[in-house]
Amino acid sequence: MYFLDNYEKISIIICFAGVAKLADALGSGPNVRKDVGVQVPSPALKGEVLKTIDIRADFPCLKRERNGKPPIYFDNACMTLKPSYVIEKINEYYTQYPACGERSTHWFAKEVDNAVEESRFLLKELINAEDEEEIVFTKNTTEAINIVAHSFPWEKTDIILTTDHEHNSNFIPWYMLKKHGLIADYIPVASAADNTFNLDHFEDIVKKYKGKIRFVSLSHVSNLNGVYITDNEIKEIVKMVKNQHDDAYVMLDGAQSVPHKRVDVRGLGIDFIAFSIHKMMGPTGIGVLYGRKELLNKKLLPFIVGGGVVNNSFFNKDPVFFKAPYKFEAGLQNYAGMIGAGAASRYLMRIGVENIESHEMRLNKMLTDGLKKFDEVEILPPRDYHKRSGIVTFFIKKLATKHDDDDVDIDEKLNIRANIMIRKGSFCVHSWYNAYKKYWDNFFPGFRPILYRASLYGYNTEKEIDVFLDTMEGILKELDDLPSL
């Protein structure tokens, strides 16, 4: 998938420029598709790239200060920061050709169409899809999953499987199908004792309902605790699901995987994947649904209909819909978002998702090891950093995390004292939190802790981890007088 097109140029930047901005290396090269002028992305750069090139210089918001301190952004599972290269590509649409694509044939419109199709091509390259027409633009992962849920020709005997720690976006659509009687059942497959994916238990469920499981939709990487399903496990899932039903399909929620690790949709053998661009250094309000071309065209029906999806319409017979991807892209589109998605894909591929994954793992180990030194802190299982991505979710083993209602909580203290930004709550995985009451009761009957989540990305640093741990140590000392479990 990744071709060597501009590697020498980037290598020179690495060797001689040191902290040169990565965006400077994102220019055109010899390996260009002439129809849309798309440069085929380079392979992941070799070596300690994220230490050699100061990609932080590409992110304007990281240059800010408050109270003499820089921002420390550990909320990347929710939203990633945006590099100048992506911002400039978005602004290019608004300042150079802010027209309507797909419909008109004038100068500006053609530039819009070329830029959008370039983005579609880059996204295809990012996940190794076979064809650009397999890339459907959506608003986000949530909409992408809902398109499949509402467009698939369900039968009342169908059963859908997911994991038991799905984001609401990959839980509620399937639950509602069951509630309205469109399928026979929806089954969340229980995790292993250490909160990781349990392939053996999954296989037992498949055997129990052999011939009835029509669809499987799994969180590739959990936003709850960073647990991931390995490539080999996914391939095994695809094999066993398709062997038990000749019309069964597998989908991944890739919101937390595509921005952080190598995802090869053809290599995995999956039928669909959904992901959001705002989690991969791109603009908000834009996401992607990948589906195998024959499924998008022949299996899924149009979901939202009207302008943009219809080739012709009549008063007395059915409309003629466009083929995929356009039959799913109703109405005037978020062209700036689409173009920004392509820029984010190019930027991500230049850095190399493999490099981001290994960088996050190093930081995760450092953060995990540091938190384990605090007796009051419990990392949400699994505690082994190898079994998680760049996400560390933890809670405090105390009946309270502040002295009174006028005191602020731990996440707010981190923000106030050191500009550290994390997330607290249940992270849209309420169903898991509510189902695991026995787990919480093991600490103390009726114990229902606040969860805190630090999520990392390629621009985070070891120094930031140090600041986080030092600040946490000070906060925890102030809570010494509160009763511990």
d(CA 327, CA 345): 23
d(CA 94, CA 50): 31
Going by C-alpha positions, the residue among 165, 181, 242 that lies closest to residue 210 is 242
- Tokens 């996401």 correspond to 287
Please check whether residue 224 is in contact with residue 230, taking contact to mean a CB–CB distance below 8 angstroms. no
Q: Give the Cα-Cα-Cα angle 28, 76, 238 (nearest 5 degrees).
A: 80
Helix segments in 128-161, DSSP class H: 141-151
d(CA 279, CA 267): 23
Please check whether residue 115 is in contact with residue 93, taking contact to mean a CB–CB distance below 8 angstroms. yes
**In the 8-state DSSP scheme, what is residue 13?**
I
d(CA 189, CA 221): 15
d(CA 133, CA 117): 10
Sequence-distant (≥ 6) Cβ neighbours of residue 31 within 8 angstroms: 3, 5, 6, 39, 40
61 is catalytic: no
Strands 185-189 and 159-163: parallel
Please check whether residue 475 is in contact with residue 410, taking contact to mean a CB–CB distance below 8 angstroms. yes
Helix, coil or strand: residue 189: strand
Helix, coil or strand: residue 306: coil
Please check whether residue 428 is in contact with residue 393, taking contact to mean a CB–CB distance below 8 angstroms. no
Helix, coil or strand: residue 472: helix
Active site residues: 428
